[in-house]
Protein backbone atom coordinates (compact mmCIF):
# COMPACT_ATOMS: atom_id res chain seq x y z
CA UNK A 1 0.00 0.00 0.00
CA UNK A 2 2.85 2.33 0.87
CA UNK A 3 4.57 1.59 -2.47
CA UNK A 4 1.35 2.33 -4.35
CA UNK A 5 0.93 5.69 -2.56
CA UNK A 6 4.53 6.62 -3.29
CA UNK A 7 4.03 5.75 -6.97
CA UNK A 8 0.90 7.90 -7.17
CA UNK A 9 2.71 10.85 -5.54
CA UNK A 10 5.57 10.48 -8.00
CA UNK A 11 3.15 10.47 -10.94
CA UNK A 12 1.40 13.61 -9.60
CA UNK A 13 4.75 15.38 -9.23
CA UNK A 14 5.69 14.47 -12.79
CA UNK A 15 2.30 15.62 -14.05
CA UNK A 16 2.72 19.05 -12.43
CA UNK A 17 6.46 19.41 -13.10
CA UNK A 18 7.32 22.40 -15.32
CA UNK A 19 10.49 20.66 -16.49
CA UNK A 20 8.61 17.57 -17.65
CA UNK A 21 5.98 19.68 -19.40
CA UNK A 22 8.75 21.52 -21.20
CA UNK A 23 10.22 18.20 -22.30
CA UNK A 24 6.83 16.98 -23.48
CA UNK A 25 6.13 20.14 -25.47
CA UNK A 26 9.55 20.00 -27.11
CA UNK A 27 9.00 16.35 -28.04
CA UNK A 28 5.53 17.05 -29.42
CA UNK A 29 6.77 20.09 -31.30
CA UNK A 30 9.61 18.07 -32.80
CA UNK A 31 7.26 15.32 -33.98
CA UNK A 32 4.83 17.82 -35.53
CA UNK A 33 7.76 19.53 -37.25
CA UNK A 34 8.85 16.19 -38.73
CA UNK A 35 5.35 15.74 -40.15
CA UNK A 36 5.19 19.22 -41.66
CA UNK A 37 8.71 19.04 -43.14
CA UNK A 38 7.99 15.57 -44.57
CA UNK A 39 4.87 16.80 -46.35
CA UNK A 40 6.70 19.86 -47.71
CA UNK A 41 9.58 17.64 -48.84
CA UNK A 42 7.15 15.29 -50.63
CA UNK A 43 5.48 18.22 -52.42
CA UNK A 44 8.84 19.68 -53.48
CA UNK A 45 10.07 16.27 -54.69
CA UNK A 46 7.02 15.88 -56.93
CA UNK A 47 7.53 19.36 -58.34
CA UNK A 48 11.22 18.63 -59.01
CA UNK A 49 10.28 15.58 -61.08
CA UNK A 50 7.68 17.62 -62.97
CA UNK A 51 10.28 20.26 -63.79
CA UNK A 52 12.70 17.61 -65.06
CA UNK A 53 10.05 16.14 -67.35
CA UNK A 54 9.41 19.62 -68.79
CA UNK A 55 13.12 20.29 -69.25
CA UNK A 56 13.44 17.17 -71.39
CA UNK A 57 11.59 18.56 -74.39
CA UNK A 58 14.43 16.83 -76.21
CA UNK A 59 15.23 13.46 -74.56
CA UNK A 60 18.90 13.67 -75.55
CA UNK A 61 19.37 16.64 -73.22
CA UNK A 62 19.53 14.08 -70.39
CA UNK A 63 23.02 13.11 -71.56
CA UNK A 64 24.13 16.58 -70.44
CA UNK A 65 21.74 17.48 -67.61
CA UNK A 66 21.85 14.22 -65.65
CA UNK A 67 25.66 13.75 -65.40
CA UNK A 68 26.16 17.44 -64.53
CA UNK A 69 23.43 17.25 -61.89
CA UNK A 70 25.04 14.16 -60.36
CA UNK A 71 28.41 15.91 -60.22
CA UNK A 72 26.85 18.95 -58.52
CA UNK A 73 25.07 16.75 -55.95
CA UNK A 74 28.19 14.70 -55.24
CA UNK A 75 30.26 17.88 -54.82
CA UNK A 76 27.75 19.28 -52.31
CA UNK A 77 27.62 15.98 -50.40
CA UNK A 78 31.44 15.82 -50.23
CA UNK A 79 32.09 19.44 -49.26
CA UNK A 80 29.35 21.72 -47.93
CA UNK A 81 27.08 18.95 -46.59
CA UNK A 82 29.47 16.12 -45.78
CA UNK A 83 27.43 13.27 -44.31
CA UNK A 84 24.38 13.88 -46.52
CA UNK A 85 25.28 11.28 -49.15
CA UNK A 86 23.25 8.16 -49.77
CA UNK A 87 19.94 7.06 -48.30
CA UNK A 88 20.14 8.61 -44.84
CA UNK A 89 18.96 5.46 -43.06
CA UNK A 90 22.54 4.17 -42.51
CA UNK A 91 23.44 7.53 -40.93
CA UNK A 92 20.52 7.27 -38.50
CA UNK A 93 21.47 3.68 -37.62
CA UNK A 94 25.12 4.64 -37.12
CA UNK A 95 24.18 7.65 -34.97
CA UNK A 96 22.33 5.36 -32.54
CA UNK A 97 25.63 3.56 -31.86
CA UNK A 98 27.52 6.76 -31.05
CA UNK A 99 27.82 8.31 -27.60
CA UNK A 100 29.88 11.36 -28.57
CA UNK A 101 27.69 14.38 -29.44
CA UNK A 102 30.26 15.84 -31.84
CA UNK A 103 30.52 12.59 -33.79
CA UNK A 104 26.74 12.21 -33.86
CA UNK A 105 26.39 15.77 -35.19
CA UNK A 106 28.41 14.76 -38.25
CA UNK A 107 25.58 12.43 -39.21
CA UNK A 108 22.48 14.15 -37.81
CA UNK A 109 22.15 17.93 -37.60
CA UNK A 110 19.94 20.77 -38.76
CA UNK A 111 22.60 21.75 -41.31
CA UNK A 112 22.48 18.24 -42.78
CA UNK A 113 18.67 18.42 -42.79
CA UNK A 114 18.87 21.41 -45.14
CA UNK A 115 21.56 19.77 -47.25
CA UNK A 116 19.77 16.44 -47.48
CA UNK A 117 16.55 18.01 -48.69
CA UNK A 118 18.24 20.41 -51.10
CA UNK A 119 20.56 17.84 -52.69
CA UNK A 120 17.84 15.19 -52.97
CA UNK A 121 15.66 17.70 -54.80
CA UNK A 122 18.54 18.53 -57.14
CA UNK A 123 19.01 14.81 -57.78
CA UNK A 124 15.33 14.44 -58.72
CA UNK A 125 15.61 17.60 -60.80
CA UNK A 126 18.23 15.88 -62.97
CA UNK A 127 16.46 12.50 -63.24
CA UNK A 128 18.23 10.40 -60.61
CA UNK A 129 16.55 7.10 -59.74
CA UNK A 130 16.16 7.93 -56.06
CA UNK A 131 13.41 8.33 -53.47
CA UNK A 132 12.77 10.85 -50.72
CA UNK A 133 11.73 8.35 -48.04
CA UNK A 134 15.23 7.36 -46.88
CA UNK A 135 16.32 10.99 -46.72
CA UNK A 136 13.16 11.74 -44.72
CA UNK A 137 14.39 9.25 -42.09
CA UNK A 138 17.66 11.18 -41.67
CA UNK A 139 15.74 14.47 -41.67
CA UNK A 140 13.27 13.19 -39.06
CA UNK A 141 16.04 11.87 -36.82
CA UNK A 142 17.96 15.16 -37.14
CA UNK A 143 14.90 17.25 -36.26
CA UNK A 144 14.07 15.14 -33.22
CA UNK A 145 17.68 15.24 -32.05
CA UNK A 146 17.65 19.03 -32.49
CA UNK A 147 14.47 19.21 -30.43
CA UNK A 148 16.15 17.09 -27.75
CA UNK A 149 19.03 19.53 -27.45
CA UNK A 150 16.60 22.45 -27.29
CA UNK A 151 14.56 20.85 -24.50
CA UNK A 152 17.41 19.32 -22.56
CA UNK A 153 16.33 15.74 -23.27
CA UNK A 154 18.99 13.09 -22.83
CA UNK A 155 17.45 10.04 -24.52
CA UNK A 156 19.26 10.48 -27.84
CA UNK A 157 18.96 6.85 -29.01
CA UNK A 158 15.22 6.80 -28.41
CA UNK A 159 14.69 10.17 -30.07
CA UNK A 160 16.65 9.12 -33.16
CA UNK A 161 14.44 6.05 -33.35
CA UNK A 162 11.30 8.15 -32.88
CA UNK A 163 12.34 10.69 -35.53
CA UNK A 164 13.14 7.91 -38.02
CA UNK A 165 9.77 6.24 -37.46
CA UNK A 166 7.95 9.55 -37.76
CA UNK A 167 9.77 10.23 -41.03
CA UNK A 168 8.62 6.95 -42.59
CA UNK A 169 5.08 7.37 -41.28
CA UNK A 170 4.72 10.91 -42.63
CA UNK A 171 6.51 10.21 -45.93
CA UNK A 172 4.16 7.38 -46.95
CA UNK A 173 1.16 8.12 -44.67
CA UNK A 174 1.80 4.68 -43.15
CA UNK A 175 1.82 4.92 -39.34
CA UNK A 176 2.01 1.17 -38.74
CA UNK A 177 4.94 0.84 -41.14
CA UNK A 178 6.73 3.66 -39.32
CA UNK A 179 6.48 1.80 -36.01
CA UNK A 180 7.46 -1.56 -37.51
CA UNK A 181 10.37 0.02 -39.39
CA UNK A 182 11.72 1.48 -36.14
CA UNK A 183 11.55 -1.88 -34.39
CA UNK A 184 12.66 -4.18 -37.21
CA UNK A 185 15.18 -2.16 -39.21
CA UNK A 186 16.46 0.68 -37.04
CA UNK A 187 16.83 -1.02 -33.65
CA UNK A 188 16.54 -4.71 -34.63
CA UNK A 189 14.65 -5.25 -31.36
CA UNK A 190 11.65 -4.05 -29.38
CA UNK A 191 12.77 -1.52 -26.79
CA UNK A 192 10.08 -0.89 -24.20
CA UNK A 193 11.86 2.24 -22.91
CA UNK A 194 11.57 3.96 -26.29
CA UNK A 195 8.24 2.53 -27.48
CA UNK A 196 6.31 5.48 -26.02
CA UNK A 197 8.56 8.00 -27.78
CA UNK A 198 8.15 6.20 -31.10
CA UNK A 199 4.38 5.96 -30.73
CA UNK A 200 3.95 9.63 -29.81
CA UNK A 201 6.23 10.79 -32.63
CA UNK A 202 4.44 8.67 -35.24
CA UNK A 203 0.98 9.80 -34.09
CA UNK A 204 1.86 13.51 -34.09
CA UNK A 205 3.77 13.38 -37.38
CA UNK A 206 0.85 11.47 -38.87
CA UNK A 207 -1.63 14.06 -37.59
CA UNK A 208 0.44 16.83 -39.18
CA UNK A 209 0.44 14.95 -42.48
CA UNK A 210 -3.32 14.29 -42.26
CA UNK A 211 -4.01 17.93 -41.51
CA UNK A 212 -2.03 19.12 -44.53
CA UNK A 213 -2.81 16.56 -47.23
CA UNK A 214 -5.69 14.50 -45.84
CA UNK A 215 -6.04 10.74 -45.54
CA UNK A 216 -4.72 8.97 -48.63
CA UNK A 217 -3.11 5.72 -49.75
CA UNK A 218 0.22 6.19 -51.51
CA UNK A 219 -0.72 3.78 -54.32
CA UNK A 220 -4.48 4.25 -54.08
CA UNK A 221 -6.82 1.45 -53.01
CA UNK A 222 -6.26 -1.89 -54.68
CA UNK A 223 -9.03 -4.49 -54.66
CA UNK A 224 -6.88 -7.16 -56.32
CA UNK A 225 -6.86 -10.62 -54.75
CA UNK A 226 -5.45 -14.03 -55.65
CA UNK A 227 -8.29 -15.90 -57.30
CA UNK A 228 -7.19 -19.28 -58.65
CA UNK A 229 -4.37 -21.78 -58.16
CA UNK A 230 -2.01 -20.22 -60.69
CA UNK A 231 -2.25 -16.89 -58.85
CA UNK A 232 -1.04 -18.60 -55.65
CA UNK A 233 1.87 -20.16 -57.53
CA UNK A 234 3.13 -16.61 -58.04
CA UNK A 235 3.61 -16.20 -54.27
CA UNK A 236 6.71 -18.44 -53.95
CA UNK A 237 7.93 -17.38 -57.38
CA UNK A 238 7.89 -13.69 -56.42
CA UNK A 239 9.41 -14.55 -53.04
CA UNK A 240 12.33 -16.53 -54.47
CA UNK A 241 12.95 -14.19 -57.41
CA UNK A 242 12.61 -11.09 -55.22
CA UNK A 243 15.03 -12.56 -52.68
CA UNK A 244 17.61 -13.40 -55.35
CA UNK A 245 17.41 -10.03 -57.12
CA UNK A 246 17.25 -8.12 -53.84
CA UNK A 247 20.34 -9.92 -52.54
CA UNK A 248 22.10 -9.22 -55.83
CA UNK A 249 21.32 -5.51 -55.55
CA UNK A 250 22.45 -5.39 -51.92
CA UNK A 251 25.66 -7.28 -52.74
CA UNK A 252 26.45 -5.00 -55.67
CA UNK A 253 25.92 -1.92 -53.48
CA UNK A 254 27.99 -3.17 -50.53
CA UNK A 255 30.76 -4.63 -52.69
CA UNK A 256 30.72 -1.61 -55.01
CA UNK A 257 30.88 0.79 -52.07
CA UNK A 258 33.94 -1.03 -50.68
CA UNK A 259 35.74 -0.85 -54.03
CA UNK A 260 34.77 2.80 -54.53
CA UNK A 261 36.04 3.77 -51.07
CA UNK A 262 39.40 2.18 -51.87
CA UNK A 263 39.56 3.75 -55.35
CA UNK A 264 38.67 7.29 -54.24
CA UNK A 265 41.17 7.30 -51.34
CA UNK A 266 43.97 8.44 -53.68
CA UNK A 267 42.18 11.62 -54.84
CA UNK A 268 38.87 11.72 -52.90
CA UNK A 269 37.08 14.69 -54.45
CA UNK A 270 38.29 14.38 -58.05
CA UNK A 271 37.58 10.65 -58.29
CA UNK A 272 34.24 10.99 -56.48
CA UNK A 273 33.11 13.57 -59.04
CA UNK A 274 34.31 11.41 -61.95
CA UNK A 275 32.32 8.50 -60.54
CA UNK A 276 29.22 10.67 -60.08
CA UNK A 277 29.43 11.85 -63.69
CA UNK A 278 29.78 8.28 -64.98
CA UNK A 279 26.82 7.12 -62.87
CA UNK A 280 24.76 10.07 -64.09
CA UNK A 281 25.55 9.11 -67.69
CA UNK A 282 24.43 5.53 -66.94
CA UNK A 283 21.13 6.81 -65.53
CA UNK A 284 20.62 9.00 -68.61
CA UNK A 285 21.24 6.06 -70.96
CA UNK A 286 18.75 3.93 -69.00
CA UNK A 287 16.25 6.78 -69.29
CA UNK A 288 16.74 7.02 -73.05
CA UNK A 289 16.40 3.24 -73.46
CA UNK A 290 13.17 3.19 -71.44
CA UNK A 291 11.59 6.23 -73.05
CA UNK A 292 12.04 8.22 -69.84
CA UNK A 293 10.25 5.70 -67.60
CA UNK A 294 13.22 4.99 -65.30
CA UNK A 295 13.86 8.58 -64.23
CA UNK A 296 12.89 9.67 -60.73
CA UNK A 297 11.20 7.66 -58.00
CA UNK A 298 9.28 5.26 -60.26
CA UNK A 299 6.02 6.02 -58.43
CA UNK A 300 3.94 6.49 -61.59
CA UNK A 301 5.17 3.23 -63.11
CA UNK A 302 4.48 1.25 -59.92
CA UNK A 303 1.00 2.70 -59.44
CA UNK A 304 0.18 2.14 -63.09
CA UNK A 305 1.24 -1.52 -62.84
CA UNK A 306 -0.95 -2.03 -59.77
CA UNK A 307 -3.89 -0.53 -61.65
CA UNK A 308 -3.36 -2.84 -64.63
CA UNK A 309 -1.32 -0.69 -67.02
CA UNK A 310 1.42 -2.72 -68.67
CA UNK A 311 5.06 -1.83 -68.19
CA UNK A 312 7.66 -2.48 -70.89
CA UNK A 313 9.42 -5.83 -70.53
CA UNK A 314 12.78 -4.10 -70.05
CA UNK A 315 11.51 -1.67 -67.39
CA UNK A 316 12.55 -3.73 -64.35
CA UNK A 317 16.17 -4.42 -65.45
CA UNK A 318 16.68 -0.83 -66.60
CA UNK A 319 15.22 0.60 -63.37
CA UNK A 320 17.42 -1.85 -61.41
CA UNK A 321 20.52 -0.54 -63.22
CA UNK A 322 19.50 3.13 -62.90
CA UNK A 323 18.87 2.70 -59.16
CA UNK A 324 22.18 0.90 -58.67
CA UNK A 325 24.06 3.67 -60.50
CA UNK A 326 22.25 6.36 -58.48
CA UNK A 327 23.04 4.57 -55.21
CA UNK A 328 26.74 4.08 -55.98
CA UNK A 329 27.16 7.64 -57.25
CA UNK A 330 27.43 9.16 -53.77
CA UNK A 331 24.53 11.57 -54.22
CA UNK A 332 21.80 11.85 -51.56
CA UNK A 333 18.70 9.77 -52.25
CA UNK A 334 16.78 6.79 -50.96
CA UNK A 335 15.97 3.27 -52.13
CA UNK A 336 12.38 2.80 -50.96
CA UNK A 337 10.36 4.08 -53.93
CA UNK A 338 12.77 2.93 -56.68
CA UNK A 339 12.95 -0.56 -55.11
CA UNK A 340 9.17 -0.80 -54.99
CA UNK A 341 9.11 0.24 -58.65
CA UNK A 342 11.65 -2.45 -59.62
CA UNK A 343 9.56 -4.98 -57.69
CA UNK A 344 6.44 -3.86 -59.53
CA UNK A 345 8.16 -4.44 -62.87
CA UNK A 346 9.40 -7.84 -61.71
CA UNK A 347 5.91 -8.79 -60.50
CA UNK A 348 4.36 -7.88 -63.82
CA UNK A 349 6.89 -10.06 -65.68
CA UNK A 350 6.01 -12.99 -63.39
CA UNK A 351 2.29 -12.36 -63.91
CA UNK A 352 2.55 -12.52 -67.69
CA UNK A 353 4.90 -15.53 -67.70
CA UNK A 354 2.50 -17.51 -65.50
CA UNK A 355 -0.65 -16.23 -67.19
CA UNK A 356 -2.33 -15.28 -63.92
CA UNK A 357 -5.78 -13.75 -63.52
CA UNK A 358 -5.02 -11.05 -60.93
CA UNK A 359 -2.09 -9.11 -62.45
CA UNK A 360 -2.35 -6.21 -59.98
CA UNK A 361 -2.11 -8.63 -57.05
CA UNK A 362 1.05 -10.24 -58.46
CA UNK A 363 2.57 -6.78 -58.93
CA UNK A 364 2.08 -6.20 -55.19
CA UNK A 365 3.74 -9.57 -54.47
CA UNK A 366 6.70 -8.57 -56.62
CA UNK A 367 7.04 -5.33 -54.70
CA UNK A 368 6.95 -7.12 -51.34
CA UNK A 369 9.39 -9.82 -52.47
CA UNK A 370 11.98 -7.54 -54.02
CA UNK A 371 11.85 -4.88 -51.29
CA UNK A 372 12.20 -7.55 -48.60
CA UNK A 373 15.13 -9.05 -50.49
CA UNK A 374 16.91 -5.69 -50.67
CA UNK A 375 16.45 -4.44 -47.09
CA UNK A 376 15.91 -7.81 -45.33
CA UNK A 377 13.02 -6.42 -43.29
CA UNK A 378 10.07 -8.68 -44.18
CA UNK A 379 7.57 -7.31 -41.66
CA UNK A 380 8.23 -3.73 -42.76
CA UNK A 381 7.90 -4.86 -46.39
CA UNK A 382 4.44 -6.40 -46.21
CA UNK A 383 3.10 -3.82 -43.74
CA UNK A 384 4.24 -0.84 -45.78
CA UNK A 385 2.94 -2.25 -49.08
CA UNK A 386 -0.35 -3.25 -47.48
CA UNK A 387 -0.83 0.25 -46.04
CA UNK A 388 0.31 1.99 -49.22
CA UNK A 389 -2.07 0.06 -51.46
CA UNK A 390 -5.03 -0.52 -49.15
CA UNK A 391 -5.02 -4.15 -50.35
CA UNK A 392 -6.78 -5.74 -47.38
CA UNK A 393 -7.30 -9.03 -49.21
CA UNK A 394 -3.56 -9.49 -49.83
CA UNK A 395 -2.22 -9.53 -46.26
CA UNK A 396 -1.37 -13.25 -46.07
CA UNK A 397 0.10 -13.53 -49.61
CA UNK A 398 2.23 -10.42 -49.01
CA UNK A 399 3.48 -11.90 -45.73
CA UNK A 400 4.43 -15.16 -47.45
CA UNK A 401 6.24 -13.47 -50.34
CA UNK A 402 8.15 -11.14 -48.00
CA UNK A 403 9.22 -13.94 -45.63
CA UNK A 404 10.33 -16.22 -48.49
CA UNK A 405 12.31 -13.35 -50.05
CA UNK A 406 13.94 -12.59 -46.71
CA UNK A 407 15.03 -16.21 -46.28
CA UNK A 408 16.44 -16.43 -49.81
CA UNK A 409 18.23 -13.06 -49.51
CA UNK A 410 19.73 -14.02 -46.15
CA UNK A 411 21.31 -17.11 -47.72
CA UNK A 412 23.45 -14.92 -49.98
CA UNK A 413 23.76 -11.62 -48.06
CA UNK A 414 24.32 -12.24 -44.37
CA UNK A 415 24.22 -8.59 -43.22
CA UNK A 416 21.37 -6.28 -44.18
CA UNK A 417 22.16 -3.50 -46.62
CA UNK A 418 21.47 -0.53 -44.35
CA UNK A 419 23.44 -1.96 -41.42
CA UNK A 420 26.37 -2.82 -43.69
CA UNK A 421 26.45 0.76 -44.99
CA UNK A 422 26.12 2.11 -41.44
CA UNK A 423 29.38 0.34 -40.57
CA UNK A 424 31.18 2.49 -43.16
CA UNK A 425 30.06 5.68 -41.41
CA UNK A 426 31.10 4.30 -38.01
CA UNK A 427 34.50 3.31 -39.41
CA UNK A 428 35.08 6.80 -40.85
CA UNK A 429 34.08 8.50 -37.60
CA UNK A 430 36.34 6.31 -35.46
CA UNK A 431 39.46 6.99 -37.49
Q: pLDDT (tens digit, 9 = 90+) per residue, 164-202?
A: 888 887 777 777 777 777 777 766 655 555 566 677 777
pLDDT bin (cut points 50, 70, 90) of residue 7 is low
Task: Domain 2-213: state its class.
Answer: mainly alpha
Query: Structural domain boundaries of the chain?
Result: 2-213, 229-429
What number does CATH give the domain 229-429?
1.10.3080.10
Which of the two residues, 341 and 214, has the higher pLDDT score?
A: 341
- Do 2-213 and 229-429 come out as alike in CATH topology? yes
User: If pLDDT is split at 50, 70 and 90, which confidence band does 216 have?
Assistant: low
User: Would you tell me the crossing angle of helices 336-354 and 299-306 to the nearest 10 degrees?
Assistant: 30
A 10 A CB-CB count for 102 gives 8
Lowest mean pLDDT among 168-182, 190-204, 349-363, 378-392: 190-204
Q: Would you say 356 and 362 are in contact if contact means Cβ atoms under 8 Å apart?
A: yes
Torsion angle, CA of 111/112/115/119, rounded to 10 degrees? 180
Of the listed ranges 96-110, 163-177, 370-384, the least confidently predicted one is: 163-177
Of the chain, the percentage scoring pLDDT greater than 70 comes to 85
Shortest CA distance to 378 belongs to which of 367, 388, 391? Answer: 367
* 308 vs 204: which has the higher pLDDT: 308
Name which of 165, 172, 182, 181 is nearest 210 in CA terms.
172
Cα atoms in the 13 Å half-sphere on the side-chain side of 58: 5
Mean pLDDT value across residues 318-338: 94
Element (H, E) at 211: helix 192-213
d(CA 50, CA 90): 29
Per DSSP, the three-state class of 86 is strand
Residue 226 pLDDT level (bands cut at 50, 70, 90): confident
Secondary structure letter of residue 265 according to DSSP: T
Q: Report residue 323's pLDDT band, with 50, 70 and 90 as the boundaries.
A: very high
Percent with pLDDT over 90 in the chain:
42
Q: Quote the pLDDT of residue 252.
A: 96
Q: For residue 405, what pLDDT is reported?
A: 96
Q: How far apart, in whole angstroms, are the C-alpha atoms of residue 156 and residue 147?
A: 10
As a residue count, the chain comes to 431
Instruction: Give pLDDT, residue 293.
Output: 93
The rounded mean pLDDT for the chain is 85
* Alpha helices for 17-109 (secondary structure H): 18-55, 62-78, 89-96, 101-105
The whole-angstrom separation of Cα 342 and Cα 339 is 5
Could you read off the pLDDT of 128-158 as tens digits, one per residue? 999 988 898 899 888 888 877 776 665 667 7
Q: How far is 144 from 159, CA to CA, in rounded Å? A: 6
- For the cut 80, the answer to whether the pLDDT of residue 217 exceeds it is no
| Predicted local distance difference test score (pLDDT) of residue 3 | 54
Who contacts 112 (Cβ-Cβ below 8 Å, separation ≥6)?
Answer: 81, 83, 84, 138, 142
H or E stretch covering 374: helix 359-375
Give the span between the Cα atoms of 431 and 429, in whole angstroms.
6
pLDDT given for residue 1 in this prediction: 47
Asked if the model's pLDDT at residue 263 lies above 90, the reply is yes
Amino acid sequence: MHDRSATLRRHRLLLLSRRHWKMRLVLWGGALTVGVVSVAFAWAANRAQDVFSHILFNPWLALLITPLGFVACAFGARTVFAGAQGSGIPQAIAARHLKDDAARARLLSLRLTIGKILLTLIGLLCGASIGREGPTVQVGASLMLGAARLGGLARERGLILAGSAAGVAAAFNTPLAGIVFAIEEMSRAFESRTSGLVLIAVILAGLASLGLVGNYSYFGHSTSMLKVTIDWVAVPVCGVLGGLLGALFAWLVTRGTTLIRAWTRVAPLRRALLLAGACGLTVALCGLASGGATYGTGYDAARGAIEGHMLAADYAPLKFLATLASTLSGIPGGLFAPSLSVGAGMGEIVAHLLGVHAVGAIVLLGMAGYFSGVVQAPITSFVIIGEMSGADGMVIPLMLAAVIAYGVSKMFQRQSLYHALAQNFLTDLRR
